[in-house]
Structure 1
Amino acid sequence: MSFHTVFRYPSRLAGACLSATFLSLPALADFRPLDDASMAAVTGQAGVSIELETKLSIDRLTWTDEGSLSVNGLRLSGHNDTVLDNLKLTVDIAGEGEVLEHGFSEIARRANAGLLDTSNPDVADALAKYSVAGSFGKQFNSGDLVIHLGATDYGDPTSLDDYLKAVDFELAIDSITTSGTDGSTNLFSDINLQGYIGPTDLVIRNGGSSTRTLANGNIVSGSELQLDTHFEVTDGSLNWDAADVILLFNFAAVGIEGLQIHNRRGNDTLGHFGMAHATAKLSRGTGATSGKEGLSIHEVEFRADIDMPVFKVGGTSIGSVQFTDFVISDTTMMVYGH
């Protein structure tokens, strides 16, 4: 497993560190502690921004039980095996009612400044959804940890296309295999997905020791990890050798080329700017039926249109396949050992 990562910090912080390095000892002796009022005036004290460049590769990731499941030759990078860059993480611990960056709040900010045309339904929706108490984002509770993934440079502030294509990615996996005493079987192989990462948010809600009951009776912690992401796959290919996916599809000897995952058709495109959308919440939970404690994955939702222009069975194309308004919703899972 290998990593290549570069962290870049805001220039004002880097400059402050550099200046401090060259201060003489008499000058250092003049430093005085800041009181609360002085601290409140320090620029950049609220939250941390991290500009990130990275490239990830894992030769093999294996889960072993009686047999084993392996992900082989995994690589995450920019398009065409370049560095995954132009990423910016903002990390904040919210105060009570604080409005922080979330989702397409940058679009709302630009629309409010007159940089984007609000006759575009998606832009108008973002402006309505992310305008909160004179700020742009989402309101959080005291102690919530909020991590927002966006771009360092979005390009032309009047261009939606620049915004949506600011961060490109490529995910490649040689194979996913299962092995046992009788040998091994490929589930998937030669996976390669290229596309763009939209706004992505990770929120750890500070619910203390509180709990709540889901519609199915499962009891989950009020402190939970919330994931919300938009993305688009513009070109993908894979061999679907033999596998179940979400208990809906079980294919073998299937090859897919030119795969696209987006949200540009159908009845649920509003507010997604043509990108697929996924949300989920994760916390400690107790199953209503089994009584088992484990990891609760709940309020899962996925919305997309899926295009497979080349769909092969046994190496021969049988035509194209399209899904419009492909939606997974009302999904809850309780994961525990047995």
Structure 2
Amino acid sequence: MTLSHACSSCASPARRHRPSCHLAALLIALPLPLPAMAEFRSMDDSALAGVTGQAGVTIEMETKVSVDRLSWIDEGSINVNGLRLSGQNDTVLDNMKVTIDIAGQDEVLEHGFSEIARRADAGLLSTGNADVADALAKYSVAGEFGKQFNSGDLVIHLGATDYGDPTVLDDYLRAVDFELAVDSLTTSGSEGTTNLFSNVLLQGYVGPTDLVIRNGGTNTRTLANGNTVSGSELQLDTHFEITNGSLDWDAADLILVFNFAAVGIEGLQIHNRRGNDTLGHFGMASATAKLSRGTSAASGKEGLSVHDVEFRADIDMPTFRIGPNSIGSVQFTDFAITDTTMMVYGH
């Protein structure tokens, strides 16, 4: 038996089928007797593989996030007040593309600046640029571009939906802009409330960002400090740039070293354009870290291990105020956090 369907609305190739037409066709098909339905056949594995799209999933995304208050409550509380993540100037955070893949053994998937390597290989970008040449060498793997993964690794890559002109490097680096605002970060207790930071505003660009969940099974490994960590871990790798930032540093420590209480910063920039470690970063700051279950060699406690942490950047603070008056500008060149491991657990 042959089921035909035609209507004037669907006759033109330039038009899409209307949902009502599809529904009508379905209703016609439903009363078919079983002998007629016997014409339908199940797909074999190879045909089904083609339908399910084993190459992965792509999500084009735009969003705007706001949180009135985020609190961690113990005997007292620490509060993030008036948090907002958006595009610059409070617009929608858009032009983002997320690809999600579960890797096969030795499969090469998008990672880091592999899109730059692909363009360089096609002759769209000059390898006379040292960063471009480095990307081509780093991300070219057996005729493909990306990073090689193991079977069962979950690979999530954040890039842009539209990178603009493929021959213009700046279009690639500034494809996804963002703005992060926080009214205040406070601590509260029986003695009252203290501002740690306030009036935080950071504007900039998000570069390639990767989240990889490594499928290490039940394997473990031992870090240099003796901590034992799971071979199955979450790996974070990101590049970004802050082009304009400001904040009031009311009372807080940075990395347990710097205390800039009563400091105001304007025109903050975080990048990687100076010094001796710029190669491969395209002028952007970078951060990497791995997280997994772990056991401390020092205490024997089990908890969340944060290891292989690395942060590299140049930091410019052109207006650095102490109290109401500026003391001039402050710059950090080749600011690097390396060889950092943390074991986090409750007490």
Query: TM-score if structure 1 supplies the norm length?
Result: 0.92
In the alignment, what sits opposite 1:105?
114
Looking at structure 2, the residues matched to 181 and 21 of structure 1 have their Cα atoms a distance apart, in angstroms, of 65
> Identity percentage over the alignment?
79
Looking at structure 1, the residues matched to 305 and 171 of structure 2 have their Cα atoms a distance apart, in angstroms, of 37
Looking at structure 2, the residues matched to 134 and 34 of structure 1 have their Cα atoms a distance apart, in angstroms, of 33
The letter for the 1-side match of 2:25 is: S
Looking at structure 1, the residues matched to 261 and 220 of structure 2 have their Cα atoms a distance apart, in angstroms, of 43
In the alignment, what sits opposite 1:126?
135
* 1:285 aligned residue (294, 311, 315): 294
Looking at structure 2, the residues matched to 43 and 120 of structure 1 have their Cα atoms a distance apart, in angstroms, of 41
1:35 Cα deviation from its structure 2 partner: 1.4
The within-5 A match list for 1:177-256 is: 177-256=186-265
Seen in structure 2, the aligned counterparts of structure 1 residues 309 and 49 have a Cα distance that, compared at 3 Å, is same
The letter for the 1-side match of 2:269 is: Q
Q: In structure 1, list runs of 5 or more residues that go unmatched.
A: 1-14
Looking at structure 1, the residues matched to 40 and 136 of structure 2 have their Cα atoms a distance apart, in angstroms, of 45
Task: Indicate the SS of the match to 2:294.
Answer: strand
In the alignment, what sits opposite 2:99?
90
- For the aligned residue pairs, the C-alpha RMSD in angstroms reads 1.9
Contact 1:96 1:141 in 2 (8 A): yes
Task: Indicate the SS of the match to 1:305.
Answer: strand
1:272 Cα deviation from its structure 2 partner: 0.4
1:31 Cα deviation from its structure 2 partner: 5.0
Contact 1:253 1:315 in 2 (8 A): no
Q: Deviations over 1:138-197 (max 9, x none)?
A: 000000000000000000000100000000000000000001101010000000000000
Indicate yes or no: 2:319 matched with 1:310.
yes
1:40 Cα deviation from its structure 2 partner: 4.1
Looking at structure 2, the residues matched to 65 and 219 of structure 1 have their Cα atoms a distance apart, in angstroms, of 29
* 2:335 aligned residue (287, 306, 326): 326
Seen in structure 2, the aligned counterparts of structure 1 residues 208 and 20 have a Cα distance that, compared at 3 Å, is farther
Task: Indicate the SS of the match to 1:110.
Answer: helix
In the alignment, what sits opposite 1:150?
159
In the alignment, what sits opposite 1:298?
307
The letter for the 1-side match of 2:109 is: L
Looking at structure 1, the residues matched to 106 and 20 of structure 2 have their Cα atoms a distance apart, in angstroms, of 36
Task: Indicate the SS of the match to 2:172.
Answer: helix
- Size of the aligned set, in residue pairs, is 324
Looking at structure 1, the residues matched to 116 and 158 of structure 2 have their Cα atoms a distance apart, in angstroms, of 14
1:38 Cα deviation from its structure 2 partner: 1.8
In the alignment, what sits opposite 1:4?
none
Q: Deviations over 1:301-321 (max 9, x none)?
A: 000000000000011100000
Q: Deviations over 1:225-256 (max 9, x none)?
A: 00000000000000000001111211210000
Looking at structure 2, the residues matched to 23 and 41 of structure 1 have their Cα atoms a distance apart, in angstroms, of 28
Higher strand share: 1
Q: In structure 2, list runs of 5 or more residues that go unmatched.
A: 1-15, 31-36
In the alignment, what sits opposite 2:25?
24
1:283 Cα deviation from its structure 2 partner: 0.3
Indicate yes or no: 2:344 matched with 1:335.
yes
Looking at structure 2, the residues matched to 130 and 235 of structure 1 have their Cα atoms a distance apart, in angstroms, of 31
Contact 1:240 1:254 in 2 (8 A): yes
Seen in structure 2, the aligned counterparts of structure 1 residues 119 and 210 have a Cα distance that, compared at 3 Å, is same
The letter for the 2-side match of 1:316 is: N
Looking at structure 2, the residues matched to 34 and 45 of structure 1 have their Cα atoms a distance apart, in angstroms, of 16
The letter for the 1-side match of 2:84 is: R
The letter for the 1-side match of 2:91 is: T
Task: Indicate the SS of the match to 1:215.
Answer: coil
The letter for the 2-side match of 1:53 is: E
The letter for the 2-side match of 1:317 is: S
Q: Deviations over 1:250-304 (max 9, x none)?
A: 1210000000000000000000000000000000000001100000000000000
Looking at structure 2, the residues matched to 84 and 112 of structure 1 have their Cα atoms a distance apart, in angstroms, of 31
Task: Indicate the SS of the match to 1:124.
Answer: helix
The within-5 A match list for 1:56-75 is: 56-75=65-84
Indicate yes or no: 2:59 matched with 1:50.
yes
In the alignment, what sits opposite 1:266?
275
